[in-house]
Amino acid sequence: MRTSVIGYPRIGALRELKFATEKYFRKEITEAELLATAKNLRRAHWEKQAASAIDFIPSNDFSFYDAMLDTALLLNVVPARYRAAGLSPLDTLFALARGYQGERGDVKALSMKKWFNTNYHYLVPEIEDDAEIKIAARKPFDEFAEARALGIATKPVLPGPFTFLKLARFIGKKTAADFVSAICAAYENIFAEFAGLGAEWIQLDEPSLVTDLAPEEISRFKEIYTRILAKKSGLKILLQTYFGDVRDCAGDILALPFDGVGIDFVEGKLSLDLFAKKPFPQDKILFAGLVNGKNIHRNDYGKTLSIFRELKATGAQIVVSTSCSLLHVPYTLANETKLPEDTKKHLAFAEEKLGELAELKRILAADLPEETREFKANAALISETGARADKAVRERAAKLRESDFVRLPAFAEREKIQHERFGLPLLPTTTIGSFPQTRDVREARSRARKNEISQEEYKNFLRGKIERCVRFQEKIGLDVLVHGEYERNDMVEYFGECLDGYIFTEKGWVQSYGTRCVKPPIVHGDVSRKKPMTVEWSAFAQSLTSKPMKGMLTGPITILNWSFPREDISLKESATQIALAIRDEVLDLEKAGIKIIQIDEAALREKLPLRKADWHKEYLDWAIPAFRLTHSGVAPQTQIHTHMCYSEFADIIREIDAMDADVITFEAARSDLSLLAVLNANHFRTEVGPGVYDIHSPRVPAVEEIKAALRKMLAQIPQEKLWVNPDCGLKTRGEPETESSLENLVAAARAIRDEIC
Ligand code: GLN
Ligand code: ZN
Closest ligand 1 atom to residue 431 Cα is 4
- Containing 197, the helix (H) or strand (E) segment is helix 176-197
Considering every ligand atom shown, identify the ligand nearest to the alpha carbon of residue 689 and give its number. 2
Q: Which residue lies with its CA nearest to atom 4 of ligand 1?
A: 729
Instruction: Give the CA angle between residues 654, 527, 573 to the nearest 5°.
Output: 45
44-100 per-position pLDDT tens digit: 999 999 999 999 999 999 999 999 999 999 999 999 988 888 899 999 999 999 988
The Cα 751–Cα 499 span in angstroms is: 45
Closest ligand 1 atom to residue 644 Cα is 8
Q: Do you know the residue count of the chain?
A: 757
The Cα 334–Cα 339 span in angstroms is: 10
251-283 in b/e form (b: 16+ CB < 10 A) is: ebbbebebbbbbbbbbbbeebeebbbeeebbee
Q: Is 616 a residue of the active site?
A: no
**Contact (Cβ atoms closer than 8 angstroms) between residue 730 and residue 722:** no
Closest ligand 1 atom to residue 552 Cα is 1
Q: How far is CA 659 from its chain centroid?
A: 22
pTM of the model as a whole: 0.93
pLDDT beneath 50: ranges in the chain: none
Q: How many CB atoms lie within 10 A of CB 544?
A: 17
**Contact (Cβ atoms closer than 8 angstroms) between residue 301 and residue 381:** no
Ligand 1-lining residues (CB < 6 angstroms) = 432-434, 485, 491, 552, 600, 602, 643, 645, 728-729, 731
Protein residues within 5 Å, CB atom, of ion ligand 2: 602, 645, 728
Q: Which residue lies with its CA nearest to atom 3 of ligand 1?
A: 729
Which one-letter amino acid corresponds to residue 472? F
**Contact (Cβ atoms closer than 8 angstroms) between residue 191 and residue 145:** no
Comparing CA positions, the residue from 334, 40, 294 lying closest to residue 32 is 40
C-alpha 549 – ligand 1 centre gap (Å): 16
589-629 per-position pLDDT tens digit: 999 999 999 999 999 998 999 999 999 999 999 999 999 99
Q: Give the pairing of strands 317-322 and 285-291.
A: parallel
C-alpha 516 – ligand 1 centre gap (Å): 18
Q: How far is CA 193 from its chain centroid?
A: 35
**Contact (Cβ atoms closer than 8 angstroms) between residue 372 and residue 289:** no
**Contact (Cβ atoms closer than 8 angstroms) between residue 701 and residue 733:** no
Q: What angle separates helix 215-229 from helix 176-197, to the nearest 10 degrees?
A: 30
Q: Which residue lies with its CA nearest to atom 1 of ligand 1?
A: 433
Predicted confidence at residue 107, as pLDDT, reads 84
| Interacting residues of 715 by C-beta distance below 8 A, sequence separation 6+ | 676
Predicted confidence at residue 100, as pLDDT, reads 86
The Cα 136–Cα 125 span in angstroms is: 15
**Contact (Cβ atoms closer than 8 angstroms) between residue 59 and residue 46:** yes
Q: Which residue lies with its CA nearest to atom 10 of ligand 1?
A: 729
Comparing CA positions, the residue from 156, 143, 218, 153 lying closest to residue 187 is 156
Instruction: Name the catalytic one among 121, 483, 683, 696.
Output: 696
